[in-house]
Amino acid sequence: MVKVMKTKNNNGWGVFWAILGMLYFFVPLYGTFDFSLRAKKGVLSFLAYQDVLSSPQFLEHFRYSGIMGIITVVVSVLIFLPTVYWMYLRLPQARPVVEIISILPFIIPAIVYVFGLISTFGRPPLFLTLTPFRTDILITVGYVILSMPYMYRAIDVGMRSMDVRTLTEAAQSLGSNGFQVLFNVILPNMRIAVLSGALICFATVIGELVLGEFLVRPALGPYMVDVGRDQAYQPAAMAIIAWGLTWVCLGLIQIFGRGGTSQELVGR
Amino acid sequence: MAETLLEIKSPKVVDRSHSFDSLRNWVGVLPFFLFILIFLILPSADLFVGAFQDKNGYFTFANVIILLTDPSVIQAYEISLKISVITSIAGGLFGFFVAYAITMGHAPRWMRNILMSFSGLAANFGGVPLAFAFIATLGHTGFISVFLKQICFSNPSGAQTCPFDIYQAGFNLYSLTGLTLAYLYFQFPLMVLTIAPALEGLKREWREASENLGGASWQYWWHVALPILWPSILGSSILLFASAFGAYATAEALTGGFINLVTILIGDEIRGDVLSNPNEGYALALGMIVVMAVCVTVYTILQRQTGRWLKS
Amino acid sequence: MKSQRFGILFSALVMVALVLSACGSAAATQVPAATAAMPAATTASTGCDWSKAKSVADCGGMDALIAAAKAEGQLTTITLAYNWCDYSKMMNDFGDKYGIVIADVNPYGGSKDEITAIEKNKGNKGPQAPDVLDIGPAYGPSGKAAGDLAPYKVSTWDTIQGSKDADGYYYVSYYGVMAFEINTTVVKDVPQTWQDLLKPEYKGQVGLPGDPRSSNEGAQSVYAAAMANGGSLDNVKPGLDFMKQLASSGNLLPLVADPGPIAKGETPVSIHWNYLALADKLSMAGNPSITVVYPSGAPVWGGYYYQAISAYAPHPAAARLWEEYVYSDAGQNTYVDGFCTPARMADMVSRNVIPASSITALPPASMLASAVIPSLDQLSAAKDFIAKNWDSVVGVNVKSGQ
């Protein structure tokens, strides 16, 4: 294999932008963190954190949102991956329509959407709002829709950067059927794309406010808003804790998504 | 594996995308469209129908007319568009460079992992927590503002000057500038996440080939990498644009009473205790959908033109 | 093959997640597990349709009401923020006393949200549909006209003082007055009048309680400013002009003065209903120290809220029991705990049932008696005016840095 010349310039610029990126992420958070330590007058303490964590409900709600996040990721991938694949292979003309559809969730106000879900599906015969399990189905659907822009774009970019048609032809010429092509050839090549889609999809569900609030499900976002807004320090502590926990989950998803294959974020 | 496959040409597969059984081509996307119809369009019907109704349910164009004539509505669209364009460009550029650092830039492994996972977190960050984070950092009492304000020097005349008071210098977090900074917090990670796969897809061989032919780094980028990446960059930019255009909670939390944005206006009409014309709110939202449809159309045309020599 | 394993792992994860979520839902205590039974439960068990009852006597008295409510087992409230008039205590006490699970939807929503929730949840008997409301003055009559409310007169109806619908569709629950909430750890020179707010020393320190274009409290703060600056109940423009002055002098921040920014010191000077300010003072417990100022030199500005029952309440008996509780001495005293002046104040004072220590925390009766409270029409007109003109009069034209 030809050894690629890695010039020093590459290294410098990469590190520079990486540091800048990390600064932008962490500096504003430091402001929140600093404030959250001031719940006790005059001293820095973790009092606000103790308050938050002493309530078992916080972790309950995080667990609920975490599980819903995972389910949403799986359902999203199952819906969008085959669709985008088909579109690349057979139906490029559908692209503009699908593009517009994919960003509709950004534009349609969530409050209109959630009440629409309730009016449409809360009625007979479905009664999807009557039991917690059925409402969970409804909210999962809502989450999938709300994270559609991100998931679709991630899968679209991923699929664009590989030669879908050739891979498919090759696999088919070796005897695979459509299903096998999708799961044994396409998906492994899409690891990074699906992973980045999954990351943001999961984070979307964890932080989602409107669906959880109005469908009355124990999601983390509404809990944090509802319990915290008339307090000063606890919301800041809750935010830090929630981000920390979410970040750990995202890290786990990353590890899980990467593990077992040779496909990694390899520097080139 | 991919490199060797490029040489195989298989006569067995028929290119169906333009064949006469094009109706069958739509079968594969049918589940998706059904899903969207049932679970997105149907529940949002209020929006599409209510935009053309008045309070009593009768058909009317009045709401749409307000859209086109009310100066405060027009201003709201202008400001929304302005901040969407600015943040999608700035966020796109910054995100591109950070994604570069993650994928190709040889930043240390730990930095790459942190950036990638944190991008997932930050891309969906918004609302009150984000606003508060910026208030606690750059507000009047934010730790950076306070820190800078306290850097003082003694004049020859004995007086103290503290030249780094950003608010004295004219900075104001509670303005479009501040809002832009806050939006960037979720814009650039969004770009990172969506463009990283594309950067990953740039084959090492292309870089090698370019260098073998004597091309400098910038030539590689200008003639090889960017043209290949361009459709993905455009697509991600549309996403960033839509994300900013539809952002509500952050703007409301940071500048709620002062800045006129379409999303805030919609919120006021549909949810507010004071303004009370939800139908106008629906019309405003429909207007946003139209704007986005125009943008996507432009993007599709641009993409077709620039991506024409790519197989997809 | 690796990807097959991947696929299997994914499916296994889905199974596990589904199972966990089902278990998790059962264990979630915060949300009432809605009974799968269809809506006819109430009438079946008591034989009397509580959704048609206009008073407790209509269906057999208090005991029957309690029994029916317990049978329903749940109550859905809406927009009851936890430290608003100590509603968290109200809900907890009610839940403990009768064993009824309460779900509170959208605690920080406004009155319009409540009406919207009723209308959008009309066919829905799940926990998303509100049973009882706490709404601003304008929404009483408009809700009644839209058919969203159900009439009911609590047993203590006659001792409720103030605005109440003759047919019992809505009834005043508590009063408050507009006050300044000052973070005295940051601000040493406490403003005493509305004019004081314009002083240069408060540059970048003043926050409103909400966006006046959409928030009731926000709009009323502008209305109160109007009264203090030469306006009247029919002329709210001076209020807008005052806010414009406040904004262009750089004193007014476009930031809503929530407890976070107040404690941070970002909006150490803010305008709020007195009960919210007093509740903040209590909860912050000196960190930072809060002073509540009733602005002098201007008419005291008063406001009130209505209680009402939804016409589509999934739990009509529980809804009525809630109202009985709210208007009982215990309920009204809970309002006092939350620094809200209860509607039955005069009656309770005359019977000496309010603890003396609690009364002192409330503004003096004379202040409330002299408070200016707009009529419904005036309030609606003023809110309209504020919403339409806020952007053009006050709205900062958005160049960066301004």
Average pLDDT over residues A52-65: 90
C-alpha C31/C-alpha A264 separation (Å) is 42
Q: Which residues of B touch C113 (CB under 8 A)?
A: 271
Average model confidence (pLDDT) for chain A? 86
C-alpha A55/C-alpha B291 separation (Å) is 45
User: Could you identify the residue written with the tokens 């389910």?
Assistant: A71
Read off the tokens for B137.
């950092």
Read off the tokens for C108.
């920080």
Please give the single-letter amino acid code of residue C136.
G
Q: Which residues of B touch A265 (CB under 8 A)?
A: 102-103, 112, 116, 196, 200
Query: Of chain B residues 105-134, which have a CB less than 8 A from chain C?
Result: 132
The CA–CA distances, whole Å, from C206 to B261, C185, C202, C256 equal: 22, 15, 7, 10
To test the contact with chain A by mutation, choose from B121, B271, B299 the residue with the greatest count of A C-beta atoms within 10 A, namely B121
Give the domain ranges of chain C.
Answer: 48-174+304-364, 176-302+370-393
Residue B28: CA count within 13 A, CB half-sphere:
22
Closest C-alpha to C219, from C398, C374, C397, C402: C374
Q: Is C309 exposed, middle or buried (0-12, 13-18, 19+ CB in 10 A)?
A: buried
**Contact between chains at C401 and B272 (C-beta distance less than 8 A):** no
| Structural domain count of chain B | 1
| Residue B167, φ and ψ in degrees, nearest 5 | -75, -35
Q: Which CATH architecture has domain C48-174+304-364?
A: 3-Layer(aba) Sandwich (3.40)
Query: Of chain A residues 234-253, which have a CB less than 8 A from chain C?
Result: 235-236
Which of A6, A22, A28 lies nearest to residue B115, judging by beta carbons?
A: A22
pLDDT of A21 higher than 80: yes
Q: N- to C-terminal Cα distance for chain A?
A: 14
Residues near B136 by beta carbon (within 8 Å), at least 6 away in sequence: A28, A31, A32, A34, A35, A236, B142, B143, C264
pLDDT score for B310: 54
Chains that touch A (3 or more CB pairs under 8 A): B, C
Sign of CA dihedral B118, B123, B125, B131: positive
The model's confidence at residue B275, banded by pLDDT at 50, 70 and 90, is low
The CA–CA distances, whole Å, from C137 to A256, B274, C305, C377 equal: 55, 12, 6, 10
pLDDT score for A255: 81
CATH number of the domain that A215 lies in?
1.10.3720.10
**Contact between chains at A130 and C284 (C-beta distance less than 8 A):** no
Chain B: nearest CA to C336, how far in angstroms?
Answer: 26
Which of B5, B132, B282 lies nearest to residue A166, judging by beta carbons?
A: B5
Q: Which residues of A touch C84 (CB under 8 A)?
A: 230
In a domain, A174, yes or no: yes
pLDDT score for A3: 46
Q: Reduce the DSSP state of residue B256 to 3 states and report it.
A: coil
pLDDT score for B9: 52
Q: Which residues of B touch C208 (CB under 8 A)?
A: 257
C-alpha B13/C-alpha A167 separation (Å) is 12
The number of C-beta contacts closer than 8 angstroms across A and C is 147
Chain C: nearest CA to B20, how far in angstroms?
Answer: 35
Q: What is the pLDDT of residues B241-251, one digit of tens each?
A: 999 999 998 99
pLDDT of B252 higher than 50: yes
Residue A161: CA count within 13 A, CB half-sphere:
29
DSSP string, chain A: -PPPP--HHHHHHHHHHHHHHHHHHHHHHHHHHHHHTTSSTTS--SHHHHHHHHSHHHHHHHHHHHHHHHHHHHHHHHHHHHHHHHHHHH-GGGHHHHHHHHHHHHHS-HHHHHHHHHHHHSSTTT-TTSSHHHHHHHHHHHHHHHTHHHHHHHHHHHHHTS-HHHHHHHHHHTT--HHHIIIIIIHHHTHHHHHHHHHHHHHHHHH--HHHHHTT---HHHHHHHHHTT-SSHHHHHHHHHHHHHHHHHHHHHHHHHTTSS------
Strand partners, C308: C133
Q: Which residues of A touch B101 (CB under 8 A)?
A: 13-18, 21
**Contact between chains at A5 and B211 (C-beta distance less than 8 A):** yes
| Structural domain count of chain A | 1
**Contact between chains at C254 and B174 (C-beta distance less than 8 A):** yes
The answer to whether B144 touches B181, Cβ cutoff 8 Å, is no
C-alpha B312/C-alpha C163 separation (Å) is 69
Please give the single-letter amino acid code of residue A251.
G
Q: Is A97 exposed, middle or buried (0-12, 13-18, 19+ CB in 10 A)?
A: middle
Angle at C93 between CA C89 and CA C98, to 5 degrees: 155
In a domain, B116, yes or no: yes
Read off the tokens for C227.
């009264």
Average pLDDT over residues A37-45: 88
User: Could you identify the residue written with the tokens 């998790």?
Assistant: C24
C-alpha C389/C-alpha C23 separation (Å) is 53
Query: Of chain C residues 262-281, which have a CB less than 8 A from chain B?
Result: 264-266
The answer to whether C103 touches C76, Cβ cutoff 8 Å, is yes
In a domain, A176, yes or no: yes
Average model confidence (pLDDT) for chain B? 85
The number of C-beta contacts closer than 8 angstroms across A and B is 349
Q: What is the pLDDT of residues A180-189, one digit of tens each?
A: 888 888 888 8
The answer to whether B208 touches B265, Cβ cutoff 8 Å, is no
Which of B135, B176, B180 lies nearest to residue C266, judging by beta carbons?
A: B135
Chain B: nearest CA to C278, how far in angstroms?
Answer: 23
The CA–CA distances, whole Å, from C175 to B217, C154, C301, C335, C362 equal: 72, 19, 11, 10, 10
Residue of C nearest to B171 (CA): C401
Find which of A165-169, A194-198, B68-72, C202-206 is predicted with most confidence, using mean pLDDT.
C202-206
pLDDT score for C41: 42
The answer to whether B286 touches B165, Cβ cutoff 8 Å, is no
The answer to whether A8 touches A197, Cβ cutoff 8 Å, is no
B5 — contact with chain C (CB < 8 Å)? no
pLDDT score for C387: 87
Which of B40, B132, B243 lies nearest to residue A32, judging by beta carbons?
A: B132
C-alpha B139/C-alpha B178 separation (Å) is 9
**Contact between chains at C28 and A64 (C-beta distance less than 8 A):** yes
pTM above 0.90, yes or no: no
The answer to whether A18 touches B102, Cβ cutoff 8 Å, is yes
Which of C3, C262, C280 lies nearest to residue A184, judging by beta carbons?
A: C3
Query: Of chain C residues 86-145, which have a CB less than 8 A from chain B?
Result: 109-113, 116, 136
Read off the tokens for A122.
């809360």
In a domain, B38, yes or no: no
Query: Of chain C residues 135-154, which have a CB less than 8 A from chain B?
Result: 136
Q: Which residues of A touch C25 (CB under 8 A)?
A: 64, 132-133, 136
Closest C-alpha to A253, from A207, A208, A191, A209: A191
Q: Which residues of B touch C390 (CB under 8 A)?
A: 257
In a domain, B2, yes or no: no
Over chain C (402 residues), the average pLDDT of each successive run of 10 is 45 48 38 38 62 92 95 95 93 96 92 92 92 94 94 96 94 96 96 96 93 90 95 94 93 91 94 96 92 94 96 96 97 96 94 91 89 91 90 60 28
CATH number of the domain that B79 lies in?
1.10.3720.10
C-alpha B193/C-alpha B186 separation (Å) is 11
Average pLDDT over residues B32-55: 91
**Contact between chains at C256 and B136 (C-beta distance less than 8 A):** no
Chain C: nearest CA to A116, how far in angstroms?
Answer: 8
**Contact between chains at B292 and A100 (C-beta distance less than 8 A):** yes
Find which of A124-138, A248-262, C340-354, C378-392 is predicted with most confidence, using mean pLDDT.
C340-354
Query: Of chain B residues 248-277, which have a CB less than 8 A from chain C?
Result: 252-260, 264, 267-268, 270-276
In a domain, A230, yes or no: yes
In a domain, B22, yes or no: no
| Residue A232, φ and ψ in degrees, nearest 5 | -100, -50
Query: Of chain A residues 1-40, which have a CB less than 8 A from chain C?
Result: 35, 38-40
The domain in which residue B191 lies consists of: 56-306
Chain C: nearest CA to B211, how far in angstroms?
Answer: 35
Closest C-alpha to A111, from A8, A206, A214, A203: A214
C-alpha B245/C-alpha A107 separation (Å) is 8
The domain in which residue A88 lies consists of: 43-258
Chains that touch C (3 or more CB pairs under 8 A): A, B
**Contact between chains at A232 and C284 (C-beta distance less than 8 A):** yes
Chain B: nearest CA to A46, how far in angstroms?
Answer: 18
Average pLDDT over residues A77-99: 91
Q: Does domain C176-302+370-393 have CATH number 3.60.15.10?
A: no
pLDDT of A258 higher than 60: yes
The answer to whether C97 touches C126, Cβ cutoff 8 Å, is no
Q: Which residues of B touch A144 (CB under 8 A)?
A: 39
**Contact between chains at C266 and B140 (C-beta distance less than 8 A):** yes
Structure letter (DSSP) for residue C79: S
In a domain, A252, yes or no: yes
Which of A13, A31, A173 lies nearest to residue B136, judging by beta carbons?
A: A31
Structure letter (DSSP) for residue B221: I
**Contact between chains at C7 and A183 (C-beta distance less than 8 A):** yes
